[in-house]
Amino acid sequence: MIDIKIIRENKDLVKENIKKKFQDEKIPLVDEVFEMDEKNRKLKTEVENLKAEKNNISKSIGALMGQGKKEEAEEAKAKVKEINDKIPALEEEQVKLDEEIKKRMMVIPNIIDESVPIGKDDTENVEVERFGEPVVPSYEVPHHADIIERLEGLDKEAAGRTSGEGFYYLMGDIARLHEAMIAYARDFMIDKGFTYCIPPFMIRSDVVTGVMSFAEMDAMMYKIENEDLYLIGTSEHSMIGKFKDQIIDENKLPITLTSYSPCFRKEGGSHGLEERGLYRVHQFEKQEMIVICKQEDAMKYYNDMWKYTVDVFRSMDIPVRQLECCSGDLADLKVKSCDIEAWSPRQQKYFEVGSCSTLGDAQARRLAIRAKGENGTYFVNTLNNTVLASPRGLIALIENNYQEDGSIKIPKVLQPYMGGKEVITPKK
């Protein structure tokens, strides 16, 4: 949610930003908010003036009575009653206007950074840089589900019986490898000075609407029946929510946290679920990072954060690239975002394994997260980034470390988490 002062002072900037995001249907909201805000401020002034007038008249009643001016005192009392009768209606109108303004402000997109490329959707995202040489081996790399099944590490059929489509059992060395990746990503971020957290896996609706748009919420979140609780789609949700309604001592900024959680997503829509594999599923595990900082420090941390993800994947012998998200692909709260994509030798293309975003003070405004320093209080900036999410990260590791004999080479950084094991070999 942007600062309403921007609409008061520069409506054209907000409208142009909406155009850059190809959401022209939202342009009328800017004028509506502007007009409602003007009316609301006039109402506020009127109420304040009436209250001041009432106080002055009330003070005069005693003096009039003391002077024996009973008739004038009664007239003054009648005037006070008239004002008292008028104020509630005006305040009620104010409340309604506040609600209507907020409803519109919640869907007006955040002002994107000037460096964001302009484009309609993810097909117009821009490759920035590659890290590591993408290799296509001379032998065939099977589908990851086939590789894992040959290693007796996957059972989607049983998961279908217990839970339905989009779920899975990981077993044996593959399950261990999956957890090794998450543990390594955790320790990597701790070594970078981030504080490790395990957050709640369910959050209330006021936190959900504080960290994401309504459209995202409907598309992603699972709601607990008859409870004001949602399963988290990423630990960023509860990690940012941790600071809801808080005023943070400026000296404690930046706050750098890395969090583990299972994640739950509907994964509906036109793409559907990849029935055979693990690329698009209803639950997965993730190591996340968040930063809460001053506005002037946000871009520095943004660039540090996505590079950490690159370093994690490169240390596991996985080539990756950074892809700059274009304006039309940015969620409404985001100022700037990029995806980290891993190389798929089987498909001979890159696929998304993580996303890094800076959201300015949009989430902080929704959740009332402020910092207090020498110059008073202000809204903080929030950032988030995927360190590693599995099983997508697992797919990338398996494909890039697949050997011709069907075995999986375990990267050196993961071997300590695998009891020293260097390779996973087919049992049959």
Coil, helix or strand at residue 210: helix
Across 294-326, the runs of DSSP E, i.e. the strands, are 320-324
pLDDT in tens, the chain (428 residues): 899 999 999 999 999 999 999 999 999 999 999 999 999 999 999 999 998 988 888 888 878 777 878 888 888 888 888 898 899 999 999 999 999 999 999 999 999 999 999 999 999 999 999 999 999 999 999 999 999 999 999 999 999 999 998 899 999 999 999 999 999 999 999 999 999 999 999 999 999 999 988 777 888 899 999 999 999 999 999 999 999 999 999 999 999 999 999 999 997 543 544 557 898 899 999 999 999 999 999 999 999 999 999 999 999 999 999 999 999 999 999 999 999 999 999 999 999 999 999 999 999 999 999 999 999 999 999 999 999 999 999 999 999 999 999 999 999 999 999 999 999 999 76
What does the buried/exposed string (b/e) look like for 2-29 if buried means 16 or more CB atoms within 10 Å of the residue's CB?
A: bebeebeeeeeebbebbebbebeebeeb
pTM of the model as a whole? 0.90
CA 336/CA 226 separation, integer angstroms: 36
* Cis upstream peptide for 254 (omega within 30°): yes
Dihedral sign, Cα of residue 212, residue 216, residue 222, residue 223: positive
Provide the pLDDT for residue 157.
92
Query: Residue 125 contacts by C-beta under 8 Å, 6 or more apart in sequence?
Result: 117, 119, 323, 324, 325, 326, 329, 339
**Bridge partners, residue 126, by sequence:** 324
Query: Residue 337 contacts by C-beta under 8 Å, 6 or more apart in sequence?
Result: 325, 329, 330, 331, 355, 356, 357, 358
* Residue 323 contacts residue 128 (beta carbons within 8 Å): yes
Provide the pLDDT for residue 270.
39
Across 273-348, the runs of DSSP E, i.e. the strands, are 283-293, 320-324, 336-344
From the list 141, 126, 186, the residue with the least C-alpha distance to 308 is 186
* Residue 234 contacts residue 207 (beta carbons within 8 Å): no
From the list 200, 191, 186, 25, the residue with the least C-alpha distance to 104 is 25
From the list 98, 85, 92, the residue with the least C-alpha distance to 33 is 98
CA 323/CA 199 separation, integer angstroms: 29
* Residue 186 contacts residue 208 (beta carbons within 8 Å): no
Catalogue all structural domains in the chain, each as residue range(s) with its CATH number. 4-105 (1.10.287.40), 122-424 (3.30.930.10)
From the list 214, 313, 219, 212, the residue with the least C-alpha distance to 264 is 219
DSSP 280: S
Provide the pLDDT for residue 275.
58
From the list 181, 120, 125, the residue with the least C-alpha distance to 322 is 125
Q: Could you tell me the CA-to-CA distances from 239 to 161, 199, 222, 423 in Å, in that order? A: 33, 7, 18, 36
Residue 379, CA atoms < 13 Å, CB-side half-sphere: 16
From the list 366, 6, 36, the residue with the least C-alpha distance to 214 is 366
* Residue 1 contacts residue 105 (beta carbons within 8 Å): yes
**Bridge partners, residue 321, by sequence:** 130, 341
CA 240/CA 254 separation, integer angstroms: 13
Across 99-216, the runs of DSSP E, i.e. the strands, are 126-131, 154-155, 169-170, 195-197, 202-203
Helix (H) or strand (E) holding 34: helix 27-66
Dihedral pair phi/psi, residue 200, rounded to 5°: -60, 145
Query: Residue 150 contacts by C-beta under 8 Å, 6 or more apart in sequence?
Result: 406, 426, 428
Show the tokens assigned to 307: 């590079």
